[in-house]
Amino acid sequence: MPDADARPLLEVKGVTVRFGGITALDGITFSISRGAITGLIGPNGAGKTTLFNCLSRLYQFSDGEILFEGQPLRAHPAHAIAALGIGRTFQNLALFRTMSVRDNVMLGGHCRSGTGFLGNALRLPSVRREERMLGEQAARMIDLLDLGEVAHRPVSDLSFGTAKRVEFARALMSRPKLLLLDEPAGGLNHEEVDGLRLLLRRIQSELSLTILLVEHHMNLVMRVSDQVVALDFGRKIADGTPAQVQAHPDVVRAYLGVEA
Ligand SMILES: Nc1ncnc2c1ncn2[C@@H]1O[C@H](COP(=O)(O)OP(=O)(O)OP(=O)(O)O)[C@@H](O)[C@H]1O
């Protein structure tokens, strides 16, 4: 029996997605080790978001398989993905703007809730215990993401960069093993991107997280990632360390549109 921790956390094997005549993903294969930060790059339309949507089970793939901890994701519907240990953030903020930071973060723990409707209505001791635990976890995430000073403010009061950290905190409440980040640097200024790089490293090590991020900000991807996977027109064109991928002739060609 192979050691469960030794096998990759995520294995993407020959995944293909077609939309009518368009092949958005064409036999994509790569794997991600536990604890790694992996950057997924590629020009516009390369298939990055489509791959993310397959990992969250929002899209069906026609061929191939995705294994998470050795188990096929196909067996799990989209609503069960968070409970399985895959969390995500979106390109556009998906927060409740009039609610406080703390309440938004608390909502992220909902998918782990084991108490049913009746238990909540009757305020059983198990419900109160769970609420207390959620509150403690939210406080930890708020602290980890430096949101303590704004915890009671509505999200509408926050700068875009701070609101992005609220989205992170909320995604972390489901205690994911794999966190999918869709363009976390989008809309951030230079200073905020640098802060994000340090933050990603910190949450990765403190929570023993594995992270897959789609990102156009090359400087961030190359500095924060252990592994980079490059797509172009739905195909994988490179997979390796940041230095290997950056120097790969197909990557240079895809980005610059010239012969390397
Ligand atoms: N729901 C959909 N219906 C039809 N075509 C789609 C759909 N989603 C994606 N596509 C097509 O699949 C291809 C890959 O798109 P995708 O959004 O995955 O690329 P991307 O790498 O995320 O691009 P970007 O960096 O611009 O976000 C594109 O040709 C796109 O038009």
Domain assignment of residue 169, given as a range: 97-174
For residue 14 the two structure tokens come to 């020959």
Q: Do 25 and 16 contact (CB within 8 A), yes or no?
A: yes
For residue 52 the two structure tokens come to 């993310």
Same domain assignment for residues 41 and 112? no
Atom of ligand 1 nearest to the CA of 53: 18
Return the minimum-mean-pLDDT range out of 20-29, 130-139, 191-200, 251-260. Answer: 251-260
Q: Do 172 and 141 contact (CB within 8 A), yes or no?
A: yes
Q: End of a domain among 174, 204, 219?
A: 174
Mean pLDDT of the chain, nearest integer: 88
- Amino acid letter, 198: L
When divided into structural domains, the chain yields a total of 2
Which helix (H) or strand (E) element contains residue 254?
A: helix 249-256
Nearest to 11 by CA among 76, 65, 78, 49: 65
CB-based burial of residue 226 (10 Å sphere; 0-12 exposed, 13-18 middle, 19+ buried)?
middle
d(CA 120, ligand 1 centre) in Å: 41
Across the beta sheet with 63-68, the strand order is: 22-32, 10-19, 63-68, 71-72
Same domain assignment for residues 181 and 74? yes
User: Does residue 131 lie in a domain region?
Assistant: yes
Rounded to two decimals, the pTM is: 0.88
42 pLDDT tier (thresholds 50, 70, 90): very high
Residue 249's domain is classified under what CATH number? 3.40.50.300
Place of tokens 């592994």: 227
| CA-based torsion, 14, 19, 21, 23: positive or negative | negative
d(CA 19, ligand 1 centre) in Å: 9
Q: End of a domain among 118, 143, 174?
A: 174
Backbone angles phi, psi at 130, to 5 degrees: -65, -40
ipTM, 2 decimals? Answer: 0.96
d(CA 32, ligand 1 centre) in Å: 23
User: Does residue 90 lie in a domain region?
Assistant: no
Average the pLDDT over 27-47 and give the result.
Answer: 96
Residue 43 has pLDDT above 50, yes or no: yes
Residue 260 has pLDDT above 50, yes or no: no
Within 13 Å, how many C-alpha atoms sit on residue 204's CB side? 21
- CA 8 – CA 210 distance, rounded (Å): 11
Nearest to 39 by CA among 185, 194, 250, 203: 185
Same domain assignment for residues 42 and 142? no
User: Does residue 58 lie in a domain region?
Assistant: yes
Which of 28, 48, 54 for a ligand 1 pocket mutation test, highest count of atoms within 8 Å of Cβ? 48
- Amino acid letter, 20: G
Ligand 1 pocket at CB < 6 A = 19, 22, 24, 42, 44-50
Q: What is the DSSP letter of 149?
A: G
Task: Indicate which residue's Cα is closest to atom 1 of ligand 1.
Answer: 19
Task: Indicate which residue's Cα is closest to atom 30 of ligand 1.
Answer: 45
Same domain assignment for residues 228 and 125? no
Atom of ligand 1 nearest to the CA of 234: 14
Greatest Cα pair distance in the chain: 68
Residue 113 has pLDDT above 70, yes or no: no
User: Does residue 92 lie in a domain region?
Assistant: no
- CA 46 – CA 40 distance, rounded (Å): 10
